[in-house]
Amino acid sequence: MAIRTPEQYIASLKDNRVVYCQGERVKDVTRHPLLKITMDWMAMDFVLQNDSRFQDLVTVKSENGERFSFVFQPHKSVEDLLRLREVVKLWARVCFGKPSGAKFTGKDGLSAITVVAPRVDKKYGTNYAEHVENYRKYLQKTDATLALCMTDVKGDRSLRPSQQKAHKDYYVRIVEERESGIVVRGAKAHISMAPLANEIIVLPCRAMLEDDKDYAVCFGIQANAEGLTFISAEPEIKEPGNFFDYPLSASVYINDATLIFEDVFIPNERIFLKREWPYAGQIAHMFGNFHRLSAETYKAVELELLTGAATLIAEFNGIDKVAHVKEKLSWLIQYAEATEIMGRAACEHPVSEQDSDLVYPNPMYANIAKLFFAEHWHQATKYLQDIAGGIVATAPSAKDYFNPELQGMIEKYLGGREGVPTEHRLRLVKLIRDLTSSYEDVLTLHAEGSPAAQILSIYKLGDFDRYKSAARRAARIENGSEHPIFSQLPQFPPNLGV
Amino acid sequence: MAIRTPEQYIASLKDNRVVYCQGERVKDVTRHPLLKITMDWMAMDFVLQNDSRFQDLVTVKSENGERFSFVFQPHKSVEDLLRLREVVKLWARVCFGKPSGAKFTGKDGLSAITVVAPRVDKKYGTNYAEHVENYRKYLQKTDATLALCMTDVKGDRSLRPSQQKAHKDYYVRIVEERESGIVVRGAKAHISMAPLANEIIVLPCRAMLEDDKDYAVCFGIQANAEGLTFISAEPEIKEPGNFFDYPLSASVYINDATLIFEDVFIPNERIFLKREWPYAGQIAHMFGNFHRLSAETYKAVELELLTGAATLIAEFNGIDKVAHVKEKLSWLIQYAEATEIMGRAACEHPVSEQDSDLVYPNPMYANIAKLFFAEHWHQATKYLQDIAGGIVATAPSAKDYFNPELQGMIEKYLGGREGVPTEHRLRLVKLIRDLTSSYEDVLTLHAEGSPAAQILSIYKLGDFDRYKSAARRAARIENGSEHPIFSQLPQFPPNLGV
Amino acid sequence: MAIRTPEQYIASLKDNRVVYCQGERVKDVTRHPLLKITMDWMAMDFVLQNDSRFQDLVTVKSENGERFSFVFQPHKSVEDLLRLREVVKLWARVCFGKPSGAKFTGKDGLSAITVVAPRVDKKYGTNYAEHVENYRKYLQKTDATLALCMTDVKGDRSLRPSQQKAHKDYYVRIVEERESGIVVRGAKAHISMAPLANEIIVLPCRAMLEDDKDYAVCFGIQANAEGLTFISAEPEIKEPGNFFDYPLSASVYINDATLIFEDVFIPNERIFLKREWPYAGQIAHMFGNFHRLSAETYKAVELELLTGAATLIAEFNGIDKVAHVKEKLSWLIQYAEATEIMGRAACEHPVSEQDSDLVYPNPMYANIAKLFFAEHWHQATKYLQDIAGGIVATAPSAKDYFNPELQGMIEKYLGGREGVPTEHRLRLVKLIRDLTSSYEDVLTLHAEGSPAAQILSIYKLGDFDRYKSAARRAARIENGSEHPIFSQLPQFPPNLGV
Amino acid sequence: MAIRTPEQYIASLKDNRVVYCQGERVKDVTRHPLLKITMDWMAMDFVLQNDSRFQDLVTVKSENGERFSFVFQPHKSVEDLLRLREVVKLWARVCFGKPSGAKFTGKDGLSAITVVAPRVDKKYGTNYAEHVENYRKYLQKTDATLALCMTDVKGDRSLRPSQQKAHKDYYVRIVEERESGIVVRGAKAHISMAPLANEIIVLPCRAMLEDDKDYAVCFGIQANAEGLTFISAEPEIKEPGNFFDYPLSASVYINDATLIFEDVFIPNERIFLKREWPYAGQIAHMFGNFHRLSAETYKAVELELLTGAATLIAEFNGIDKVAHVKEKLSWLIQYAEATEIMGRAACEHPVSEQDSDLVYPNPMYANIAKLFFAEHWHQATKYLQDIAGGIVATAPSAKDYFNPELQGMIEKYLGGREGVPTEHRLRLVKLIRDLTSSYEDVLTLHAEGSPAAQILSIYKLGDFDRYKSAARRAARIENGSEHPIFSQLPQFPPNLGV
């Protein structure tokens, strides 16, 4: 089949999957007014794949001349990573800052197991790399939408998986092993777009110790697998179709669902890790490297939008020449552009996997970029809200604006600077509200890894030998263990005999 | 009548006022599912006035033995201001951090004109103070709910009222003067709880120059005055009555409405300023002094709640012993307690009005306290969201939780630390979402004055002579103009002849 | 003797104490060019005590009519604490932000043992309170300068006193017990002004466990005690007497010395704690309560000076009307005034010691105020340096300025706004350099307790029951354990039957 | 001559230049104990040029086979800029974070006029490009040390050069024009290493208007030119040669001197701008692009050192496993590495000069990187001082440590974790004091452009069309002026007819 049309994608969703939304079992996910928002958003991937202007960017041709999604291909060069970045930016620009989820998270899971599976095979003599490659071919051929399922529900965060007290299923685990495969049980949370995906890659979400080995499991699964239940996240959307009042939330419903695995069977060829516990953490971290890159890539696009919203509302309100407003706009620009710089640097300076032709994004840079935008997001929303004014909280609704009894009054009074249509100002104000919602805050902080995870990663990745050598040399502390950069430097101050 | 019952208050609202909500003209504001939320919230003032446990705090007895609301009395001492603070804290604690709006903003307008009217009279020989006192007696007697109407819609913020280009009505102004009163036109925005108020005090929102004198107008008005239209703010509430998913937003709808004055007549005795333009700014600033105090008073209560939410979710998630979580909780505590300290200090160190027995909150401290909590709010929400985790964005809805097909799964998997009911965790997570909404952000920044206003006020209130004298003395810069504190100090270092 | 003259104080220092400074044993501390700076600074206490304008503030009369220092009196009321604050502010204003050290830290040690000694006596039947009172009378009578010695040198900070590996003397400890007293060994660091003090109170610096009981020791000691060696801190001063280039550092040398106790004998009547290990931490914390108050008191004065320096240099440079400069000045004002507010609140809302007429500063507020100024200091210095410009780093020296060959050029070119003498600008620039030195930074962070200590104290002092009750009530989480403030509140939203 | 030896450089300084230091006219700058520090530091450039390990990096061969400094060559590619970066990093690593000043600032002036001179020639038919190329050849041939002289003393910062009131010489200006050249008068401040340079390029420091055209002047000058006086900055160094107590300040004395031009003659061939006022700002900005890159390049090296100092002192103190310390170290790592990323990005994504083979660093990225490290420096020093503890302010001096009477005590008591020599700890503590001095703060903020300049530059460089198009598209505001990136995007949400 190779690349699909949006219609083909939609048709593929009628497969009896078990999806709940707002307390109801959804018979046909393609007909549900809220889930349709997710579906339409995901369908944009197929729109772009079939659009001649973008096709050469987002797809590649296989040896047999069939096109398939570029993101299903292994990454082997800086150019591959930079192209990946361009793809994600296109997705994000099309969809108001939120990249179409068709393959967005899934691709990073696929990339992660592509790198790690050969490591496991090398150590244990398993053949997971082959499983991964077969799975990749299947994805390429079916042009599947691919979700990624990582974060376990976790129960008591102070305890490891095997230490949990209320029950042992807070992390997905192997409960039975059969000749043909395994049976898993547990639940995962925040699984973006999963209810509208075809395939789902399931990864462990943390490093494990030997006691936790039943939890060291990784596999691919179809959305209609028996025993799998999706509970949709409560939607942010107040009123589907109202793009005036809810320009973002009525356009994108990511649907970070909770997935319940009630004794789901996974056939052997779909398994990519099975109790090789030392590699659970490696998969999680490798996924992090790729997904943090994805995060900073789309975030740079979202910040472009946020900066634009701040600039426009400053103009609409007539305060764009006010000194503190210009400073805040300058801050927003550097925030957006620095996110761009640092995300791109993770591509431009990747790491080459040993004994392999694969590369992955620079982990230090990917973590720094993610932390950078997450740590400063609330500052950005504060600045945006500050410039926009109280109207973000108090504006009337579209229904008021379009009521002929009121429209004249609203036109007259809620305008800003002369020449700016009141409708434009109101639409912008609503965009700003959507952009600064609690949902956006939490997404920015926690999606693609919480700040605490990046802080720890950066600490672990620090080049301490280099740092300490620099300090010891300046302090004249000799301990005989200089970093090579410093050991070769000439004496300073010099002894010039003057 | 003196103090009313909630029922009397509700009955008083059936007065044919012109209120719109979500595009519809509301026939009976007491029967509207959304406006009822505002009404119930405001009614808590009357509940408390009639509750024997609180009556002595929130009411006083007049000479004739009738009780009336304490907040309708002029403030003459530190004790009065501290009691005012206790009243606002009670209101706020009852209503989850949002003080019942019955008289919340109005009282500060009344206090402001109480202080400023005699100043105007002294300068111009007017008798506004008498108008104010008569109005006060009327309010005491009718136990009216009293809104405050200040912020004009402003049009182009870079232009003063009389400079506006599209039209001249961006600030409420006098368009006609009659023997018996004046006619006003214009619109005001963010007028909290006004659609459910009995009375509204209308103030100028900024300092004016002589050209703007038609805009220097202040008066009291009834909610059903002819020519007055209320357009409700688009409500945050998604589903009235659903306190599980929307514990705050389904309980409190402040309804910061837009008010349109289409040639509204104001009788002379209700006028408190009429073209005495140098006093427009004084009223605005004096209102600011009182209302910033109100702000920091209820905010300390809201921050108590926010700190509690962070503490509980840390416990529920099992991370309350993690070092960075404890540091964040410590930060939240200092944020809440410092807001309390600084707000209280504005009462404990008030300013006495010259030639008067009135006092008003310390303007420097009131501004510092307001700025302090507004500037750090986004940091607080970041910490809260960080501790709470992604579930704030992705939790299922009450409908999911109460669906018997799902409840077992949700109970099992979305629990936290052993012993914590899953329902408690979900309820708390929803509270956190409500607490960190865009609405709350914008309210915190802009209600009671935007940060830029406080920054400017603090600058203007700075005791520069004292500061500069301190620096000149240390730098040995003698210019003959020492502040008295410094001019009397002995020489340092001393000349001890050793 | 009661209150002494500066000359009497100076004479008292010729007592053969063992003081080193810059590698040399100082024969006569009153004749050393650097130690003299410390001495003159401390002598200001005696200047003020004998100055009729200040005598009634800084001294009290005993029953027999003799005056003695107010700070040697126990504190029993809000008024006492507020007066203490005024005394410290006077000391600080006289000495450019650094309160004369004669009794500055010592008084807080005396206050701490005054509160805690009766607690120990009550538990153990000891008579330390009597020792303290006798010691107090001695101090009052001799008008001694009194240092406070708390911070042990600590060795490996990850280990408790008794766990130290290299040796056991990283914390001062009892090495021998005799009938007439004890012998102590160890070293303490950062002991401000100790080399020029008459008396020194030695406190434990942390909570102890039973294993550490030899380290639970508290006593008073004379500066010339046998076995006691003072090693002066390396002075910041570059050139004594050059007040042009070093207006602060040539005026105040706090001399935070290292004190070495080599088997020093302490007679019984000078002992205030001896192995009663559960009280070691109480003394340390109680000292913290008093000393954090002292910190925020003088810091408010120092910030007044810093704000003045920023204001003046903005004027001198001609940038005082620039928007971002005004915002930075506004920030500095709020920083100074909020420090004032919060410090004063710790006096206005003290804690009463149980079964006693003593009070001590509110620990929550004292910690918040200390943390507040310490956490924001670097922001303040950044703003000050930003406004002042590069000249802070690059200005010529006084020697250049006063060289007739150069003075004309410097006069002409290094002036600022017209009318500002170049000399004033240069003097101010030097003040700013002194104010923003590494020394000032470190003093602000670590003196009176490091930020980590305050963060922990605030966490421990948090009123969690109240916070959590507020959150549970709003989230409708009922667990039967409401805080009294919340348990009595009426239902909200109300059920009004409408 | 081509590349020189350190000795040749030193010999070249005996040229009767007029240098003052600490109020004295210096006869021979090579023999002055303080100026020698600057000289030795600058001489490291020649040490490296003659060191076979580094020669191929820091020098290039001319067509005739003679080597000359790489930095005197025009930059034409990403590779050139990245090599420039490597050179600066080497200089900085050798000299404890402060790149040897021999050509450090001068090279950026040379690069700036290399780009701008052809622009001027194109507009005015002048032949400045030829002057620049001849000057370059002279520099290459003589291997001169080259300072850069930009910042005028400015007088009243609120006035442009021609508006100054006290006199007209606050900015260097042309006071006379002769056939053979011009005569200039005025003064410039903060001219790093100039007293020890051979050549100095003098640039305008800001954009000019026509009234200011006498101030629009740019030229090269020799250090011993008649009428030129250097007044050294007051040195930070307390004691030359004491590398224990002053490891940085005794090693590097940048000597940001004030230069007085008293009617100095500039021959025509050394003039690069003469009254072409619209280009004054262009030169200043182009210098900024290059010099901000230089700044972030060496700063990344300095931050490596600072991070190392923090890591080591945490280890020495035994607190490297404490959670908040690890978080602070993680923050310092991201600060250092992000500075590296962003500086390098300015090289990797340069701008190509129109109609030219020259490139220059990306101005947006160069400004962002400079602002980033300057804005966060004080946070970094706070963290470093916090981890290091009060000993940074209170440690004894080297003289104490090396005094045999004291060394035993100091060894015993001022050690940290077992196994760490006390001497190491003390040396490190002194390094930390030097690293966090007021001088370092001010240098970080103001050298290479003050934060306000970067904030303004970033604002001006913002791609507002792109930002606003993104916001308008999401808000559904159609105004017919989409940015090309957005105008081609497909509709979203799509209309899939489901």
* Residue A323 at interface with chain C, using a CB cutoff of 8 Å: yes
* Predicted pLDDT at B453: 95
Average pLDDT of A424-432? Answer: 98
Closest chain A residue to B436, measured at CA: A438
DSSP per-residue letters across D228-279: EEEEPPPP--SSTT-TTT-TTTTT-----EEEEEEEEEEEGGGEEEES-GGG
Distance (Å, whole) CA A216 – CA B304: 42
Average pLDDT of C398-411? Answer: 97
Q: How far is C443 from chain B (nearest CA, A)?
A: 19
* Predicted pLDDT at A90: 98
**Residue A95 carries which side chain, given as an amino acid letter?**
C
Chain B segment 13-72 residues within 8 A of C by beta carbon are 30-31, 36-37, 39-41, 43-44, 47-48, 51, 53
Select the residue from A319, A320, A322, A324 to test the C interface by mutation, using most C Cβ atoms within 10 A: A324
Count contacts between C and D (CB, < 8 Å): 270
DSSP per-residue letters across A245-259: T-TTTTT-----EEE
Distance (Å, whole) CA B215 – CA C446: 54
- Judging contacts by C-beta atoms under 8 Å, the chain B residues touching residue A389 are 446, 450
**Residue A180 carries which side chain, given as an amino acid letter?**
S
* Residue D420 at interface with chain A, using a CB cutoff of 8 Å: no
- Judging contacts by C-beta atoms under 8 Å, the chain C residues touching residue A324 are 323-324, 327
* Predicted pLDDT at C1: 57
Average pLDDT of A284-289? Answer: 96
Task: Write down the mean pLDDT value for chain C.
Answer: 96
CB B106 within 8 A of CB B147: yes
Percentage of chain B lying above the pLDDT 70 cut = 100
CA D186 to the chain's CA centroid: 23
Chain A segment 230-269 residues within 8 A of B by beta carbon are 231-234, 238, 245, 256-258, 260, 262
In the predicted structure, residue C475 carries a pLDDT above the cut 70 = yes
**Residue B28 carries which side chain, given as an amino acid letter?**
D
Question: Are the beta carbons of A258 and B413 separated by less than 8 Å?
Answer: yes
Count contacts between A and D (CB, < 8 Å): 257
* Predicted pLDDT at C2: 81
Q: How far is D97 from chain A (nearest CA, A)?
A: 9
**Residue A236 carries which side chain, given as an amino acid letter?**
E
Select the residue from C324, C325, C330, C383 to test the A interface by mutation, using most A Cβ atoms within 10 A: C324
Q: What are B105-126's pLDDT values in tens digits?
A: 999 999 999 999 999 999 999 9
Average pLDDT of C63-70? Answer: 93
In the predicted structure, residue D317 carries a pLDDT above the cut 80 = yes
- Judging contacts by C-beta atoms under 8 Å, the chain D residues touching residue C193 are none
In the predicted structure, residue A497 carries a pLDDT above the cut 80 = no
Average pLDDT of D24-49? Answer: 97
Select the residue from C105, C170, C231 to test the D interface by mutation, using most D Cβ atoms within 10 A: C231
Q: What are B349-361's pLDDT values in tens digits?
A: 999 999 999 999 9
In the predicted structure, residue A1 carries a pLDDT above the cut 60 = no
Question: Are the beta carbons of A413 and B187 separated by less than 8 Å?
Answer: yes
In the predicted structure, residue D492 carries a pLDDT above the cut 70 = yes
* Residue A176 at interface with chain C, using a CB cutoff of 8 Å: no
Question: Residue B63: pLDDT band by 50, 70, 90 thresholds?
Answer: confident
Q: What is the dihedral of CA B81, B84, B90, B91, to 10 degrees?
A: -140
Question: Are the beta carbons of A333 and D458 separated by less than 8 Å?
Answer: yes
CA distances from C59 to A3, C225, C348 (A): 90, 28, 21
* Residue D324 at interface with chain B, using a CB cutoff of 8 Å: yes
Chain A segment 442-471 residues within 8 A of D by beta carbon are 455-456, 458-459, 461-462, 464, 466-471
DSSP per-residue letters across C377-407: HHHHHHHHHHHH-THHHHPPPHHHHT-HHHH
Q: How far is C39 from chain D (nearest CA, A)?
A: 18
Q: How many CB atoms lie within 10 A of CB D465?
A: 16
* Predicted pLDDT at A62: 87
In the predicted structure, residue D151 carries a pLDDT above the cut 70 = yes
In the predicted structure, residue D498 carries a pLDDT above the cut 80 = no
Can you tell me whether residue A201 is helix, strand or coil? strand
Distance (Å, whole) CA B187 – CA A410: 10
In the predicted structure, residue C94 carries a pLDDT above the cut 70 = yes
What is the bridge-based pairing of β-strands C181-191 and B359-360? unpaired
- Judging contacts by C-beta atoms under 8 Å, the chain A residues touching residue C327 are 324
* Predicted pLDDT at D479: 84
CB C83 within 8 A of CB C91: no
Question: Are the beta carbons of C51 and B490 separated by less than 8 Å?
Answer: yes
* Predicted pLDDT at D1: 57
Average pLDDT of C484-498? Answer: 91
Q: Which among D271, D361, D255 is positioned nearest to D32, based on CA atoms?
A: D255
* Predicted pLDDT at C63: 85
* Predicted pLDDT at B479: 84
Task: Write down the mean pLDDT value for chain A.
Answer: 96
* Predicted pLDDT at B498: 64
- Judging contacts by C-beta atoms under 8 Å, the chain D residues touching residue A307 are 462, 467
Q: What are B238-271's pLDDT values in tens digits?
A: 999 999 999 999 999 999 999 999 999 999 999 9
Average pLDDT of B264-284? Answer: 98
CB C472 within 8 A of CB B247: no
Question: Are the beta carbons of B496 and C6 separated by less than 8 Å?
Answer: yes
* Predicted pLDDT at C95: 98
CA D226 to the chain's CA centroid: 27
Average pLDDT of B380-386? Answer: 98
User: Which strand (E) or helix (H) includes residue B327?
Assistant: helix B323-348
Question: What sign does the dihedral A272-A278-A281-A287 (CA atoms) show?
Answer: negative
Instruction: List the structure tokens of D172.
Output: 């260097």
**Residue D260 carries which side chain, given as an amino acid letter?**
I
Distance (Å, whole) CA A260 – CA A184: 10
Closest chain C residue to B326, measured at CA: C459
CA distances from B314 to A459, B322, B331 (A): 24, 9, 14
Distance (Å, whole) CA B427 – CA B238: 16
In the predicted structure, residue A213 carries a pLDDT above the cut 70 = yes
Question: Residue B1: pLDDT band by 50, 70, 90 thresholds?
Answer: low
Average pLDDT of A240-245? Answer: 96
Q: What are C262-305's pLDDT values in tens digits?
A: 999 999 999 999 999 999 999 999 999 999 999 999 999 999 99
* Residue C386 at interface with chain A, using a CB cutoff of 8 Å: no
What is the bridge-based pairing of β-strands B146-149 and B199-202? parallel
- Judging contacts by C-beta atoms under 8 Å, the chain C residues touching residue D318 are 155-159
CA distances from A188 to A201, A264, A270, B409, B410 (A): 12, 13, 18, 12, 11
Cis peptide before B493 (omega within 30 of 0): yes
* Residue A327 at interface with chain C, using a CB cutoff of 8 Å: yes
* Residue D89 at interface with chain A, using a CB cutoff of 8 Å: no
Chains touching D (3+ CB pairs < 8 Å): A, B, C
CB A378 within 8 A of CB B379: yes
* Predicted pLDDT at A436: 97
* Predicted pLDDT at C498: 64
**Residue D442 carries which side chain, given as an amino acid letter?**
V
Question: Are the beta carbons of C428 and B461 separated by less than 8 Å?
Answer: no
In the predicted structure, residue B311 carries a pLDDT above the cut 60 = yes
- Tokens 């959590």 sit at which residue? C468
Please give the ipTM for the structure prediction.
Answer: 0.96
Average pLDDT of D79-100? Answer: 98
Q: Which among C70, D334, D263, C118 is positioned nearest to A467, based on CA atoms?
A: D334
DSSP per-residue letters across B373-421: HHHHHHHHHHHHHHHH-THHHHPPPHHHHT-HHHHHHHHHHS--STTS-
In the predicted structure, residue B287 carries a pLDDT above the cut 70 = yes
- CB burial readout C41-51, b (16+ within 10 A) else e: bbbbbbbbbbb
Question: Residue B469: pLDDT band by 50, 70, 90 thresholds?
Answer: very high
* Predicted pLDDT at D129: 98
- Judging contacts by C-beta atoms under 8 Å, the chain D residues touching residue C153 are 413-414
* Predicted pLDDT at A448: 87
Question: Residue B62: pLDDT band by 50, 70, 90 thresholds?
Answer: confident
Q: How far is A228 from chain B (nearest CA, A)?
A: 12
Question: Are the beta carbons of B392 and A447 separated by less than 8 Å?
Answer: no
